[in-house]
Amino acid sequence: MASRMLSPAAAARAFAPIQCSSASARGFHASARALAASSPLPARKPVGAFRGGLFGFLLGSTLAGAGVYGYLLREYKASNELLTEDIYALQNACQRLSAYVQALEEKFDAAERKRK
């Protein structure tokens, strides 16, 4: 098979121009439908520089505002959680301090009763 592919006759056949019969050849001409006048497209109102610039500014401002709002909301939630944790820690410390002061007062009262 490889010897046939390398033969000069096979190479000549591979690069020979393709012959077409005149009956199967199609001419390059347009049909009546393609030659018919096409209807013009409806005229579009051009977007002026002012309207386009204003629309772009409003769109950009809205997107930037939404981004800032989301960022501030996340920061508010994080700081609120930290503040809540600190409040609970302070409440726990106050309760422990109150219990310690009550224990000291009881010891002091007991010591005074022993003296009398």
Report the pLDDT value the prediction gives residue 41, as an integer from 0 to 100.
Answer: 73
pLDDT at 42 exceeding the cut of 70: yes
Assigned token pair, 67 = 């981004």
Give whole-number Cα distances, 73 to 7, 70, 87, in Å: 79, 5, 21
**Looking up tokens 């005229």, which residue turns up?**
43
The label of the residue with tokens 């199609």 reads 26
Q: Which residue has the tokens 């409040």?
A: 87
99 or 115: which carries more pLDDT confidence? Answer: 99
Q: Other CB atoms closer than 10 Å to residue 47's CB: what's the count?
A: 10
Residues 57-81: tens digit of each pLDDT:
999 999 999 999 999 999 999 999 9
**Averaged pLDDT of the chain:** 82
